[in-house]
Amino acid sequence: MPSEASQSSLIRLADVYRHVRLVDVAVSPDGRKVVYVTEQFRRSKDEQMHSIWIVDTDGTHPPHRLTRSGTSDSSPRFSPDGTLLAFLSARPDEVEIAEQQVGKDESEPKNQIWLFDLAHGGEPRQLTRIEEGVEEFSWGPDAHRIVFCSRVPDDEQRKYLKRRRDKDSPGPWVLRRTQHKEDGQGYLDDVRTHLFTLDVATRAVQQISGGPASETHPLWSPDGGWILFTSNRTGDPDNNLRLDLWLMRPDGSDLRRLTFGDVRAESPVWSPDSSRVAFTSPVEPENLSSLAYPLVVDVAAAEPTGSLAQSIGAGFASVGGIVADGPVADPVAAARCYPVPLRTTAARRLATELPGPAERLSWRDASKVLGLVLDHGQKRLVEWGVDGGLRILAPQDRQSTIVAFGCGGGSVVAAIDRPETGWTLTSLRETGLQDKPLVSPNALWLGERHLGCYRWIEWRDSDGVSIEGLVIVPPQVSGDPSRLPLLAVLHGGPQWLDMPWFDFERQYWADLGYLVLMVNYRGSLSYGEEFCRTIQGRWGPLEHDDLMTGIDEMVRRGWADPERLYCTGFSYGGIMTNWAVGHTDRFRAAASEHGLWDYSSTFGPDDSHIQWQNDAGLPWQNRERYLKMSPTSGAEHIRTPLLILAGEQDWRCPVDQSEQLYLTLKKRGVSTELIIYPGEHHAVSRPRRAIDRLRRIALWFAQHGGQPLPTEDTKDDEPTDSKD
């Protein structure tokens, strides 16, 4: 065990307030500056605080903080001439601030567009006062206009929303949509999102789209002639995941269709000459195990379609969504009732094979597209040539990963995350020149801490498949570990992965003295499409086998104590924890966070009906499959003490799933506790909750032979009036 001196240098729960997370990055058009958004917990108000910073890309000056409002400042975007910076913020209206009327309006402020004058400085100016707030925006090339999208209720919808938002006597939810709820948003209404243009000087706003479908993600073309947007115009958007690219003139005329119903178009970006659009899409839009590929489509291929209203439902043989009743030979195939497009989009793939999905595309110049790709347990920044060719820009080693990037004016800036320093915003130089670190906000405090060492390991599972994982060796250990208590931390998803970056929670476990095992089990991203699709429609057994054979490897090496094995996970990691305790007695204790228990009973209460439909059909037509996949199939075999944590308003993995599991264990006499966090969704949004959950899990393991907590970590975290 470490000495008292080294104990004081280990990560403690209060360090959660020092941890700075990166949210967004944008580079100026001339490539000389970069803005980035950080997120940090604020102790005094028990909330997240977002701040916008700016720094020179040559690193000659330290970063300068632009906002510290305590609100959700986000999406900073430079004007095309680089002199202005627009961003979204839910801060109080500037008129209320000027007249000292803040707080008089009881309604929560919504995101509006605000503007910094970078040449002259001063406070930001509010550009919009939109009833339902602004969702996304894009600059026009002349820097005089902005296109944005916002929800647009009609008169009846406005009355309904007013009744719903009445704090004294809220009216009922009236639900008509198939996708009637979404985690973090709540129950959904029928209000559509439409496009507007904004005159920056006069603040005049003009609506340019409307009708019974939504238009989102607007992007003004560099030549000023077109506004690109995405829209699901199948006529049944709640029953499929199609998302097409559309074009219109800035005045709302000349509607054209750029893709034709066979894509889920995401991350669209204009080429510098406005002749092409790059975007990502999987081959099967509704299949979440299908990898997203980078594609390019010529704007000249767009076809006129008449009005926005006329375009709804056009271009399909059938819209789908309604599943036939009665016995079916293949319930899964029968449930895949999706739109059948009449034609194929004339888009070119920039890559025919990928280890993982592509995301966050950006044109470097007219012939090169940058993007992030998940590749064998890492996220890498890559460059595709439009006419062929692939180059990996960063990272070149296996001990880091990219979390965000931006480019402009010939500069490429990436946030490279390493386990020992956290993320560092870095200017990437051309081959032969040294990269330039710009800011690394966690490096100072992490340098005061002793951190665990990440190691890659590989083994064969029971089917002979090669599985990779990461092990964090506690900082108290030099050389190879020997018979340490092992904590398996299972990642969510299942379409996700563990990577070599700084993760507060996992480093905390390592600093307590656990050997932390993270398994990129079958179904994880970054190991090819076949690896990801392997578990589709058969969740449970394969991932569990990969976990247990990984533990066997740790025991075989002599690293793990076979008598002190523990397991935990969040979301899909919680699901697999629930599965694990029903299929093995090897764990001394486990903790399941925001998991599922009985899949057939979560169909409807959760917000994931399309994924269930695509993977396993519908529960009333395929009951045996749902039962076989569900952790509840192992209910009678659970003996492991299990701590269960859930969010009261989690609609991805609803709280009643945790309640069912809890009562099952209570009725069977298994040691258990259920912790429900009021008002929480499928996330950890408040610092006191972030600390409380880790403390409870650590104490649960300690009660069952695990590592003891230092005294300061056993105390409740109370908000203070101290400055943050």
pLDDT per position as a tens digit, 94-135: 876 666 665 555 678 899 999 999 999 999 999 999 999 999
Q: Which DSSP category does 367 fall into?
A: T
Range of the domain at 665: 453-714
Number of domains in the chain: 1
From CA 711, how far away is CA 397, in angstroms rounded?
38
Asked if the structure places residue 511 within a domain, the reply is yes
Residue type, 564: R
The per-residue pLDDT for range 500-532, each reduced to its tens digit, is 999 999 999 999 999 999 999 999 999 999 999
Provide the pLDDT for residue 308. 94
What are the two backbone dihedrals, phi and then psi, of residue 484, each rounded to the nearest 5 degrees? -90, 155
Q: What percent of the chain has pLDDT over 70?
A: 96
Asked if the structure places residue 702 within a domain, the reply is yes
In the chain, which residues have pLDDT < 50?
1-5, 721-724
Asked if the structure places residue 57 within a domain, the reply is no
Provide the pLDDT for residue 326. 82
Provide the pLDDT for residue 3. 40
- Asked if 40 contacts 17 with a C-beta cutoff of 8 angstroms, the reply is yes
From CA 644, how far away is CA 621, in angstroms rounded?
30
Residue owning tokens 């506790």: 673
The per-residue pLDDT for range 15-50, each reduced to its tens digit, is 999 999 999 999 999 999 999 999 999 888 888 889
Report CA-CA distances (Å) from 719 to 43, 657, 686, 687, 722: 6, 31, 11, 10, 9
CB neighbours of residue 216 within 10 Å: 16
Asked if the structure places residue 505 within a domain, the reply is yes
- Asked if 567 contacts 587 with a C-beta cutoff of 8 angstroms, the reply is yes
- Asked if 576 contacts 544 with a C-beta cutoff of 8 angstroms, the reply is yes
Provide the pLDDT for residue 100. 60
10 Å CB burial of residue 120 (0-12, 13-18, 19+) is exposed
Asked if the structure places residue 483 within a domain, the reply is yes
CB neighbours of residue 133 within 10 Å: 17
Spell out the SS3 assignment of 485-513. Answer: EEEEEECCCCCCCCCCCCCHHHHHHHHHC
Domain harbouring 483, CATH code = 3.40.50.1820
Residue type, 62: P
Q: Is this structure's pTM higher than 0.85?
A: yes
Asked if the structure places residue 554 within a domain, the reply is yes
Asked if the structure places residue 323 within a domain, the reply is no
- Asked if 256 contacts 302 with a C-beta cutoff of 8 angstroms, the reply is yes
